[in-house]
Structure 1
Amino acid sequence: MPHSPSRTTGRAAVLGSPITHSLSPVLHRAAYAELGLDGWTYERHEVTEDGIAGFLAGLDTSWAGLSLTMPLKRAVIPLLDGISETAASVEAVNTVVFGPDGRRSGDNTDIPGMIAALEERGVHSVESATVLGAGATASSALAALARVCKGEVTAYVRSEERARQMRRWGERLGVEVRTADWARAAEGLRAPLVISTTPSGATDGLAQAVPATGGTLFDVLYDPWPTALAAAWHGPVLGGLDLLVHQAVLQVELMTGCRPAPLAAMRAAGEQELRSRAG
């Protein structure tokens, strides 16, 4: 049974730096419109790591929640009253919810959002997986793979320091992680699930090495889309919009109390916005 909103009005926003590119306002506003939450607003604010404490201190009781992007996902943790086990597992918070008593609770919807996006495409379990890259998103990918992957995860990285970091995350999350040099990343494309967590352009050189029959590719970028790797892929492809929409669905539910959030309407709004930006 659908849940009613926890409050009739509320303010929310996405914070980060840079933030002008964020699709979050489009997705959340589409959800509010579909749910009839006329008294709710969602904005974007440019906030740096040094400015997050001051921003939080200036909020009043009209605020219901915040979405956080880089570089704030770890910087915000000491400023909160508590964080979920999911957020603690990767030391990253992308969602802050304000309780009626003013309590600031942190959560991470990237991990369950990634799992939900995979399940939507029929990927519930794989025997092995590849992770391309070792940045902040890679730790969330490992946390998701702890639920999805039965066997070994191979992470392709550019330095021994990043390799050690990924192995440490694997130990912490209960994932068997093997690391390999980025120069061998083409070998990893044969895995049943490949998750690319790299910046734009980083995997372009791998497009020519895509196997004739591939597993599932999850490329977390959404703009520009498709990436060269995604365009060349022979098999199911998920993009960054899939992740963004599914994690935003969970954010809307946490902040407003409305369940279920309107996945289809949010995805349609995101697709329309990306088409507008493209041309």
Structure 2
Amino acid sequence: MKPPIGRDTRLCMSLSARPGNFGSRFHNRLYELTGLDYVYKSFSTTDLPAAVQGIRALDIRGCAISMPFKEAVITLLDGLSQSAKAIDSVNTIVNDAGVLTGHNTDYGAVVALVADIDRSMPFMLRGAGGMAKAVAAALSDTGFRNGTIVARGEEAGRVLGNLYGYDWSAEPRTGAALLINATPLGMTGKDALVQAFPGPMIAASQIAFDVVQYPAETLFLRAAAAAGKRCITGAQVATLQALQQFILYTGVEPTEADVRDAELWARANS
């Protein structure tokens, strides 16, 4: 049984421009199931340096980092794990007695989700930010060679493409069997009604992968599902990367049953 919150309770948190409920509820549910004296709370901020200093000053054990802070936070940390250093992007901070280390658990989640996909399949990855870097690195490291980075910012798009030997395009173009959205397009808010890829491209594809977590079924994925395509959701990414964060923060690996319970509970209550 989880102890009541008290002076020895460890605090974990998240920083995002658009905080959601899934992470908080997933972690807190796992704390209950595993009996750990932890609590998790999501926050937003307009002052990233002050927020990171607060993590250090208040001995907050861990912090999830979401858009738009995944790259900007790097200079505020004491070090990076190999996963974060390789792609120059952080989605997780672990605090060890005031020493803040950046990790990237998005990378591992993507590796797991594309494990059974044919490596010869041409792909189109929309985005050039922190999440797109994690996706591109995961695809490259697992053997995908025929890809295009879609980014309106030519410099960022070409830099990411050149890093892994992929092409760059300012706009989506035909010819990709695997379509991946790693931008906020389709997310709740101003981008909710924007579809990441046009209908004809979706119809010609085989697999649609959207990293957007809220909503789990974006316009892009709904169109892909209606066309009979295989869909990989941001909800799946969220669960896998949050599980790795939980393990980093607590040192405890929960059972598959507990993870499934926490995932279902968090979805139902988000």
| TM-score under structure 2 length normalisation | 0.82
Whether 2:138 is the aligned partner of 1:138: answer no
Report the counterpart of residue 34 of structure 2 in structure 1.
35
Q: How has the CA–CA distance of structure 1 residues 269 and 168 changed in structure 2, closer, same or farther, with 3 Å as cutoff? A: same
Q: Contact 1:124/1:148 (CA < 8 Å) preserved in 2? A: no
Aligned equivalent of 2:174, options 177, 187, 190:
187
- Quote the Cα distance in structure 2 between the aligned partners of 1:178 and 1:76: 28
Q: Partner of 1:259 in structure 2?
A: 253
Check if 1:196 corresponds to 2:181. yes
Task: Count matched residues.
Answer: 250
* Separation in 2, partners of 1:263, 1:87: 24
One-letter amino acid of the counterpart of residue 41, structure 1: V
* Higher RCO, 1 vs 2 (CA within 8 Å, ≥6 residues apart): 1
Alignment of 1:139-154 (within 5 A): 139-154=133-148
Instruction: Summarize the Cα distance change of 1:205–1:95 in structure 2 as closer, same or farther, 3 Å threshold.
Output: closer
- After TM superposition, list the pairs within 5 Å mapping 1:6-21 onto structure 2: 9-19=9-19, 21=20
Amino acid at match of 1:114: V
1:75 corresponding residue in structure 2: 72
SS at match of 2:203: coil
Moved more, 10-19 or 49-58: 49-58
Contact 2:179–2:207 (8 Å) recurs in 1: yes
Give the 5 Å matches for 1:105-144: 105-119=101-115, 122-123=116-117, 125-144=119-138
Q: Which amino acid aligns with 1:179?
A: W
- Equivalent position of 2:93 in the other structure: 96
Tell me the residue number matched to 1:178: 167
Contact 1:222-1:240 within 8 A present in 2 as well? yes
TM value normalised by structure 1:
0.80
1:87 aligns with 2:84: yes
Q: 3-state DSSP class of the match of 2:240?
A: helix
Q: Note the residue ranges of structure 2 that are not aligned, 5 or more in a row.
A: 1-7, 187-192
The alpha carbon displacement at 1:80 in A equals 2.0
- Name the counterpart of 2:218: 227
Q: Which runs of 5+ in 1 are unaligned?
A: 1-7, 275-279
Q: Distance in 2 between matches of 1:108 and 1:170?
A: 20
Give CA-to-partner distance per residue, 1:92-145, whole Å, 9 cap, x none.
Answer: 21111122x4322211111111212333xx337344221123333211211111
Call closer, same or farther: CA 1:136–1:76 in 2, change over 3 Å.
closer
Query: Is structure 2 residue 267 aligned with structure 1 residue 271?
Result: yes
State the one-letter code of the partner of 2:23.
S
Q: 1:126 to 1:254 in 2, by over 3 A?
A: farther
Q: What's 1:26 paired with?
A: 25
Residues 225 and 245 from structure 1, CA distance in 2 versus in 1: closer, same or farther, beyond 3 angstroms? closer
Contact 1:69 1:94 in 2 (8 A): yes
Does structure 2 retain, via aligned residues, the 8 Å contact 1:139–1:166? no
Percentage of identical aligned residues: 26
